Each structure stands twice: as C-alpha cells, then as structure tokens.
Amino acid sequence: MLQKATALLRKLDQTHLIRYMETLEPDMQSAMAAQIADLDLSVLNAENASDSRGYFEPLYATTLDKIAANRERYTETGLEAIRAGKVGAVMLAGGQGSRLGFEKPKGTFNIGLTRDLYIFECLIGNLLEVTEAACASVPLFIMTSAENDSDTREFFEQHNYFGYDSNYVWFFVQEQFPATDTDGRLLLAGPGKIATAPNGNGGWYASMEKNGMLDVIREHGIEWLNVFAMDNVLQRIADPCFVGAVIASGMASGAKVVAKTAPDEKVGVICLEDGRPSIVEYYEMTDEMRSRREPDGTLSYNYGVILNYLFRVDKLDETLHVHLPLHKALKKLRYMTEDGQMIVPEEPNAYKFETLALDMVKLQENCLAYEVDRSREFAPIKNKTGVDSVDTARALLRSNGVIL
Ligand code: UTP
C-alpha cells in the first residue's frame, strides 16, 4: 500500500508528502497510505466548473402577484401532499461556516439577545408552523459533516429537538474531499493526516444513498424533497404554497428565488443554459447579461436563488450517478506544516473542492422559479458583521416579529 501511495503522490506532483511520509514511524506511514487510498484525489486535476458553461437565456419566474392570486389553491395542494406523507425536507448543515468564524456547528449559534435563540431553533420553529397547519409531520433529514456530526446530534438531543418529533429526524454524514494550498499542494491536517474538507452541498442525495436514507424515503413513500440551507433563519421549509405551486405546474423541480436588489448584486441567478434550467453565478455573467432588460423594464436575469429547492425523488434517482461539476473555493483552513507547526490562518489560504446543490437544477428537465419576498424569507448568516451577517439577520427577524 505504501508503494502505491508513493507512486500516486509522485504522479500527482505531490512529492512534498513523499518526503514527509519518509519521516514517519511505520504504523503512521501505513495509516497515511490508507488515507491516500481512500481519498478521491481525482479532484486535483479536475476541470473547474466555470470553464465550460453553455448558452444562457433568461428563465422567467412565477412572480409574487401570480402566486398571491393562486395562494389558496396552491396551499391546499401542498398541504394535501404533506398530509399524505409525500414531502420530506433535507437540511444542509455540513458546511464549515468559516466566514462566521464560530468554532461549533453554525446552527448552534445563538442569535438571541434577551433570550436564547439558536439558528437551528429558528429553522425548526419555521417547520413546526407547517406541520401544525398540516397536522402531519414532515420527515427531516439533516446532513452533517465528519467535523460537526456529533456536536450537531448532541445539540438536538440536548434541546429536545426544539419540540420536533425526533422519530421524524434522521442525520447523515456527507463525504470529504482533500484540500490544497493555493499552489495546488495537498495540506496536512495534523501528524500523518492529509487535510480534508466537506465536499460541498451538491453531494447530498448521493450521501443520502450511501447512508441508507433512500430506504427511509421509500418506506415513507416520500415523493418530493425540499432541500435548503441551514444558514437562512427566515427559511420557509416544506412551504405548502411552494410545494403546491410546483405540483400544479407539473414540473420536475422548483427553486425559491428573490428579485435582485441591483443589476450587479452578487447572487447566483436562475436562467436557462442550453435550454435547461440552470444557475449562473454573478461572476460568470457578462455586463450585457447583467444590464439586459425586458420590455416592461425588469431585468432579464432578475431572480437570485436562495438555496431552497424542491426536487421530485424519481427524477433525483435518475441523476444519482451523474458527476456534478467541481468548484474550487478559497477558504480559511487550519493546517500543519511538514515540520509540525500548526497554522491558524487569518486570511483564506486553501482551496476546497465542492460540488454544489445548485448544479442539480441543470439535471432536471424543467424548474419552476417561484418568487418570494426577501424581507420575509431571506436572512442568511454568512459573516460576523456587514452584509449577510448576524446583524442583518437580527434586523430581519425583528421586522418579522421575532423577539430576540
Ligand atoms: P456555504 O456555501 O455558505 O458554505 O453553505 P459554509 O461552509 O457553510 O460557509 P463558509 O463559506 O465556510 O463561510 C451554504 C449551505 O450549504 C451547507 C451549509 O451548511 C449551508 O447550509 N453546506 C456547505 C453543506 O452542507 N456542506 C458543505 O460541504 C458546504
């Protein structure tokens, strides 16, 4: 195994680790060789997602006024599906939250001021509003990562699942990819251990399969999965009106979107790419795309995604083994130098490789872009202060009547 690992490292131009391995005791050498055999090192040579984009065209959304006109009908359809047990929810909680710089899982962050109010608590509270209206539980799958899995589970246990029926909650752990420095050299996490990081939020369905969750889905007869980010404290989960609108549209998927605040807002926008629904990142848009307008004056590429999608399970099954494009993200990662010094970086220092949930939209035949009011449904917590921060989320929670 040792020889194989050395040969692979040489082939991948990672000779600094061969020299490092030579300094280790035999049992540590074997453990490191075993880790190398296990890791998906193909990511090191993979093409970056942005290098191969197709032809973009606008995709129009079902707007707030159209939804308001059909609210009752959509909501009833959604509630029926929830009561029939056809709707499950998947919380993406495997991220490292490095921008927030909070040591524990991000969902355990206390956003309250005069009382405790945790991010996870806000989300479960939002979901409880739906299960109470439907008089039925929504199976909830929570994706964690190797790093935060036990803390996340313990936290839910300690807080009695914030009143949610724990028989309807399942945890599963996502996979890891290796991480490199900015020159593409693999980093060490500690003695004899290559640094890895969660493989992005795009692997959630494949991880559900690996962890036996698809059996749960089949046993419960779940037909739709609402996948969402855990860092938006106003996230509406299994929203009956959204579920009903997607079902009524006959489409294979749905995406909650918000109207952009400005043509150059830094948000991924829903569009068509080579005729299929897709998301174009703000940095992939040309100036022409950013400023293009429809005859009524609205931006042609106007609707930003908020990481809240509804997918049909049978369609997800069809795309289960399709490789998603790989994105390289520059983030802060603690690592060990080859001479044993631990480094805690102040600035982003490492590339992590990720697949993204938004790329699953392109695997669907069609997607209903469903507009929501951002002041009521979009309060992401990414940073400590400034844009999309604890401060902005608190202000939005307050304006929605939440006591902090
Ligand atoms: P982000 O893209 O904001 O990543 O995640 P992050 O790792 O949480 O935060 P930073 O960039 O280090 O500050 C968006 C959503 O996707 C989940 C996150 O938990 C969040 O709900 N996510 C992200 C995963 O579940 N797994 C991942 O590997 C990455």
**What is the enclosing helix (H) or strand (E) of 273?**
strand 269-273
Residues 18 and 46 in one domain: no
Q: Is the residue at 233 inside a domain? A: yes
CATH code at position 112: 3.90.550.10
3-state secondary structure of 119: helix
Number of independent structural domains in the chain: 2
User: Is the Cβ–Cβ distance between 58 and 197 less than 8 Å?
Assistant: no
Residues 208 and 67 in one domain: yes
| pLDDT tens digits, one per residue of 378-391 | 999 999 999 999 99
Atom of ligand 1 nearest to the CA of 145: 26
Residues 21 and 155 in one domain: no
Closest-CA residue, ligand 1 atom 10, reads 97
Instruction: Give the position of tokens 């991880």.
Output: 207
Residues 138 and 257 in one domain: yes
Q: Is the residue at 404 inside a domain? A: no
In the chain, pLDDT over 90 holds for what percent of residues?
92
Residues 30 and 93 in one domain: no
Provide the residue range defining the domain that includes 3: 1-38
Helix, strand, coil tally for the chain in percent (to 5): 40, 25, 35
How many CB atoms are located within 10 Å of the residue 25 CB?
A: 10
Residues 202 and 345 in one domain: yes
Residue 50 predicted with pLDDT over 70 = no
The confidence score (pLDDT) of residue 51 equals 67
Distance CA(276)–CA(320), nearest Å, equals: 18
Q: Is the CB of 240 under 6 A from ligand 1?
A: no
Task: Kindly state the average pLDDT of the residues 77-103.
Answer: 95
Q: At CA 230, angle to CA 271 and CA 149, rounded to 5?
A: 125
pTM: 0.95
| pLDDT tens digits, one per residue of 104-153 | 999 999 999 999 999 999 999 999 999 999 999 999 999 999 999 999 99
Residues 58 and 19 in one domain: no
Question: Two tokens at 134?
Answer: 């439907």
pLDDT-derived band at 48 (thresholds 50, 70, 90) equals confident
Q: Is the residue at 57 inside a domain? A: yes
Residues 226 and 143 in one domain: yes
Closest-CA residue, ligand 1 atom 25, reads 94
Report how far ligand 1's centroid is from the alpha carbon of 319 (Å).
22
Q: Is the CB of 231 under 6 A from ligand 1?
A: yes
The confidence score (pLDDT) of residue 133 equals 97
Residues 49 and 33 in one domain: no
Residues 27 and 62 in one domain: no
User: Is the Cβ–Cβ distance between 89 and 228 less than 8 Å?
Assistant: yes
Residues 120 and 263 in one domain: yes
Instruction: Give the position of tokens 């004056």.
Output: 297
| pLDDT tens digits, one per residue of 173-200 | 999 999 999 999 999 999 999 999 999 9
pLDDT-derived band at 352 (thresholds 50, 70, 90) equals very high
Residues 149 and 284 in one domain: yes
Its sign, for the CA torsion 241, 244, 249, 254, is: positive
Q: What is the chain's mean pLDDT, rounded?
A: 95
